[in-house]
Amino acid sequence: MNGTPKTRVSTVTPIAPALVVASAADVPWHEEADVLVVGWGAAGASAAIEARSQGADVIVIDRFGGGGASALSGGVVYAGGGTVYQQQAGYDDSPQAMADYLRHEVNGVVSDDTVQKFCNESVANLQWLEAQGARFAATMPRYKTSYPPEGVFLYYSGNELVPAYGNPASTAKPAPRGHRVVAKGQSGATLFAALKSATLRAGVQPITQASVRRLVREQGSGRVLGVEIWQLPAGHEKTLRHAELDGLVAKWRLYQSKKADAARREQAGIEQALGSPRFVRARRGVVLSTGGYIYNPALIDQHAPHYRKGWPVGGAGCDGSGLRLGQSVGASDAELNNVSAWRFITPPAAWPKGLVINQRGERFCNEQVYGAKLGYEMVENQGGKAWLLLDSKLRWEAVRQCLFGGLWAFQFLPALMLMFKVARKARTLEDLARHIGVDAARLRTQVETANAAARGEREDAFGKSADMRQELKHGSFFAIDISIDQKMFPLATLTLGGLQVNELDGHVRNAQGQDIAGLFAAGRTAIGLASSRYVSGLSLADCIFSGRRAGRAAARE
């Protein structure tokens, strides 16, 4: 081999230790504002708009062109407590009923008071989003789904219909709370376009194609004074190429991951070659809102190595830069080992009527739960391995739903491929057990016990509701590999942990539980409502809630 091997370019933003100075006067600031927002996704936009509404001068800084994971998302906002769209669809909801449910998902990662406040403000936050230009509607799907079909914008986006998630003391019926932004196609880009326009209308100054690489801190007080950014030169051909690659990464990320990875590396190479440093001052506060760390291999290896085989979802900037900036000034973090793994087995809606088993041939979870709950149980407690069992009747029911149910291509194509190309088939349960390497007697016991529950002869062992139970006894049996390493059925993964914050105002806290002056965090950079168990729409809703909270507080600092 001739020459020296090329060094593989890292896509992770390099973060330096904080620059400690005696006072702000010791730094050659190039720009300044009252509030700096680092990261221009839904949380960053909400923080910037809210800070402007408090009369603060605001600069928002983004490594790319803005949008982040929010623009790539499905554009679902978890909202309830009696929204106009719930009412139009014929559902009653209250902040208390919403809080009763969410406590099952939050698991104490934020206080009950914060959960209640989030629910009390939910209607107002949805109205605030509408004031920024987002639109919602009340149409409902016919079946439970992981993402609503075209023209449908309200749905059950979590575990609301699962009996175990109800409040036994409450007579309130479950209500749908997934509010998808009205759009043609998936809604994330439309949601961020509205927030981006609102940010600019508010008079926020954007600095794009600029990565924040360290914080500036005052020696005596410990106050964060500003940031050092590395920005690409305006108008340079490589800068234009860097912007062009944003669109290519978004285009390729779903089905051409290797090309998307190469594009991210090309962007990082441009940043390393052309970026030049300068300092930006925050007279009042810095808000960190750069997303999670799913694109940081070192952090994944350190905190969640058993998720490495998953399929990362998020923006290219989800490399933990905000987390690491906070850590550079002594911030405390939590839940960094918590990764949401989305093993959706609906749609097709027939699949959850089947049974999910582990490598021992045993059921381990209620099949009707939200996909992130099933993924969590599979990865954390079953070594990432599982099978979905169907019989001929259920399989053909699922095929009809795929072909005629109005599903998205990303939903029905993998399902058909799995049922006809991946599934193991056998005439008897004993033969099926042999094909997939599980104990035949144990498998038969599991199926017979579930069948008895489907006939109403006993309760389901995992609390599956009666309408989701169906006997497996018709024709052949099928086992579909739904494990984390199933290439035909990628397991989407998203990090949930982040910086610990003061839940009253979003201040980042140190190891002693004290506020770090001048530093705030929001969205997936911070611990929030979605940091324990993710359900669709909860992360974006928390971005709005925590972003507005941090923006208000930073403007008043």
Taken in order of first residue, the domains within the chain and their CATH numbers are: 19-41+54-69+187-340+493-520 (3.50.50.60), 344-481 (3.90.700.10)
On the question of pLDDT at 325 being above 50, the answer is yes
Residues 6+ apart with CB under 8 A from 415: 347, 348, 351, 398, 402
Question: What pLDDT, in 10s, does the model give residues 185-232?
Answer: 889 999 999 999 999 999 999 999 999 999 999 999 999 999 999 999
Residue type at 37? V
* C-alpha closest to that of 313 among 340, 346, 343, 347: 340
Rounded Cα distance between 557 and 483, Å, is 48
- Per-residue pLDDT, averaged over 528-553, amounts to 96
Amino acid at 526: A
The tokens describing 333, both together, are 């973090």
> Percent of the chain having pLDDT more than 90?
90
Mean pLDDT for all residues in the chain: 95
C-alpha of 96 from chain center: 24
102: which strand partners? none
Q: In this structure, what are the phi and psi dihedrals at residue 386, rounded to the nearest 5 degrees?
A: -165, 160
Work out the average pLDDT over 288-308.
Answer: 96
């209640």: which residue's tokens? Answer: 116
Read off the pLDDT of residues 80-121 as tens digits, 9 standing for 90 and up: 999 999 999 999 999 999 999 999 999 999 999 999 999 999
DSSP reduced 3-state for 345: coil
CA distances for 220 relative to 21, 97, 359, 515, angstroms: 9, 47, 58, 15
List residues bridging with 521 in a β-sheet: 288
Asked whether 408 and 414 are in contact (CB, 8 A), the reply is no
Helix H or strand E segment including 397: helix 392-404
Q: How confident is the model at residue 1 (pLDDT cuts 50, 70, 90)?
A: very low
pLDDT of residue 20: 98
pLDDT of residue 253: 79
Mean pLDDT in residue range 491-507: 97
Is pLDDT above 50 for 4? Answer: no
> Percentage of residues in the chain with pLDDT exceeding 70?
98
Predicted pLDDT at 169: 62
- Tokens found for residue 318: 């989800």
Transcribe 95-148 into DSSP letters. Answer: HHHHHHHHHHHHTTSS-HHHHHHHHHTHHHHHHHHHHTT--------SS--SSP
pLDDT class of 258 with cuts at 50, 70, 90: confident
Which two structure tokens, joined as six digits, stand for 539?
Answer: 């992360």
Check residue 297 and give its pLDDT: 95
Comparing 165 with 549, which gets the higher pLDDT?
A: 549
Q: In the sheet where 424-426 sits, what is the strand order?
A: 355-357, 387-391, 477-481, 424-426
- pLDDT tier for residue 144 given thresholds of 50, 70 and 90: confident
| pLDDT exceeds 60 at position 460 | yes
The pLDDT-based confidence of 170 (bands split at 50, 70, 90) is low
For the stretch 347-358, pLDDT in tens is 999 999 999 999
- pLDDT at residue 168 tops 80: no
Structure tokens given for 188: 């994330």
Model confidence at 30: pLDDT above 50: yes
Instruction: Average the pLDDT over 439-452 and give the result.
Output: 97
DSSP 27-50: S-EEEEEEEEEE--SHHHHHHHHH
Task: To the nearest 10°, report the CA torsion of 464, 467, 471, 474.
Answer: -140
The residues near 420 (Cβ < 8 Å, ≥ 6 apart) are: none
- The count of other CB atoms within 10 Å of the CB of residue 459 is 11
Q: Which residue type sits at 138?
A: A
Single pTM value for the model: 0.94
Alpha-carbon span 209 to 60, nearest angstrom:
11
b/e map of 29-62 (b: 16 or more CB within 10 Å)? eeebbbbbbbbbbbbbbbbbbbbbebebbbbbbb
First to last CA, the chain: 59
Q: Give yes or no for a contact between 30 and 280, defined as CB atoms under 8 angstroms apart.
A: yes
Contact 60, 311 (CB under 8 A): no
Structure tokens at 521: 């965090």
SS3 378: helix
Above 50 in pLDDT, residue 384? yes
> Partners of 507 in the beta sheet?
520
171 vs 347, higher pLDDT: 347
pLDDT at 179 over 60: yes
